[in-house]
Amino acid sequence: MLRIKPTLLAVAILASAQASASDDDLRINGFMSVGVGMLSTDDIAASGFDTDANFSTDTIVALQISKQINETTSATTQLVSRGTESYDTNAAWAYVTYAIDSDTDVRAGRLRTPFFYYSDFLEVGYAYNWVRPPEEVYSLDALASVNGIDVTHRFNMGSTDGSVQTYFGRLDTSYAVIGEAYELELKNFGGVVLNLNRGNFGTRLSYHRADVYGDLDATGTRALDGLVAFATSVGRGDDFDITGQTTQFVEAAGTWENGDYAVIAEYTALRHGTASMLDANAFLVTGAKRFGTTTVHATYTTRRDLTDGDALQKSLQTNAQVHEQSYILGARYDYDTGTAFKFEVQYQDEKTILGVDGKSGMLYSAAIDLVF
């Protein structure tokens, strides 16, 4: 299997809470990645790396604990320690599942936000070929979990298998913009995801929305505070206010895999109801070829912030605009059961960074990924 699609082993680990009632013992599974990365130059910024070897950014360990309570109900929690957070342990998942029938589940608690094709496996490095998913597309880390409820219904239509997931909840979180932290509340946070698979082909479509509330302060010293202060001074404060504004996110992915070759393409569009945050489009396409226990892969990915409105609004937004693209070439060696070694090189071209011409450089990465 090429692992463009999540591996069966990784799926089994993350789905262990849906075991049958006869498998009612406490289950403990886990995954771990130990990675290192280094930039060729300090002129670019990529995934938190610099020109010194960094062993924290791609290092993570997690345990998933699940218990089948009875024939219809199970409990699941996933405890994660990340190198980027000084290995503090947090609950990425903590939910109860109720099986309405064999095809329909309801979950309530802390859930993974299903933004992307790899969302359910975002931190399980073993489930994909990259050392890390490309940040140009997979850029909503701070919003990766939601507190709420979801319903998933699985179905088939002839030779087509599919599922529909709907969710609704709320999230309070810190969100970084240009390296500065802002406190956000996402209310009425919800969406719908459609998955379809037929033979070697797969399709995923999703839509998400939330009403955003933030701690912007015209008297503050952060960049967005200053932006709101200036907009207010010229009578445009309402355009740049984020309170109660709706943000929408759309994603579409297509996959093809025949056992030796695999391709995936994924597109995302982010649209904000406030001029303080830039709309953005992102896209990736990746292909892989398997040679026994070794898989080689190549990826192109890009992200572009958009400006809109009148001349004043565009002028202010241009100062925060980003347009970048990357080319990734890598290899994966599955040297034993549940273990993989990866190495990749990434050429990052920062065409525009904060409204000015950017630089380019290389990011070198390696990792060992395990599931157990």
pLDDT digits (tens, 9 = 90+) for 43-81: 898 878 999 999 999 999 999 999 999 999 999 999 999
Is 2 domain-assigned?
Answer: no
Report CA 141 to chain centroid distance, whole Å. 6
Domains in the chain: how many in total?
A: 1
Q: What mean pLDDT comes out for the span 180-206?
A: 95
Kindly tell me if the per-residue pLDDT of 7 is higher than 80. Answer: no
Is 178 domain-assigned?
Answer: yes
Tens digits of per-residue pLDDT, 327-368? 999 999 999 999 999 999 999 999 988 888 989 999 999 999
Range of the domain at 364: 8-371
Average per-residue pLDDT for the chain: 90
Kindly tell me if the per-residue pLDDT of 301 is higher than 90. Answer: yes
Is 347 domain-assigned?
Answer: yes
Count the neighbouring beta carbons within 10 Å of the beta carbon of residue 210: 24
> What does the pLDDT read at residue 22?
42
> What does the pLDDT read at residue 19?
43
Q: What mean pLDDT comes out for the span 16-38?
A: 75
Q: E strands, 273-359, where?
A: 279-291, 294-306, 322-336, 339-353, 356-357
> What does the pLDDT read at residue 15?
58
CA distance 299 to 303: 14
Is 282 domain-assigned?
Answer: yes
Tens digits of per-residue pLDDT, 127-170? 999 999 999 999 888 888 999 999 999 999 999 999 999 999 99
CA distance 274 to 248: 11
CA distance 144 to 60: 15
Is 3 domain-assigned?
Answer: no
> What does the pLDDT read at residue 20?
39
Residue 353 one-letter amino acid: I
pTM for the model: 0.90
Is 1 domain-assigned?
Answer: no
Tokens 């049958």 locate to: 20
If pLDDT is split at 50, 70 and 90, which confidence band does 8 have? low
If pLDDT is split at 50, 70 and 90, which confidence band does 219 have? confident
> What does the pLDDT read at residue 18?
45
Q: What mean pLDDT comes out for the span 228-240?
A: 84
Is 256 domain-assigned?
Answer: yes
Kindly tell me if the per-residue pLDDT of 209 is higher than 80. Answer: yes
CA distance 63 to 162: 29
For residue 176, the domain's CATH number is 2.40.160.10
Is 66 domain-assigned?
Answer: yes
Kindly tell me if the per-residue pLDDT of 175 is higher than 70. Answer: yes
> What does the pLDDT read at residue 65?
95
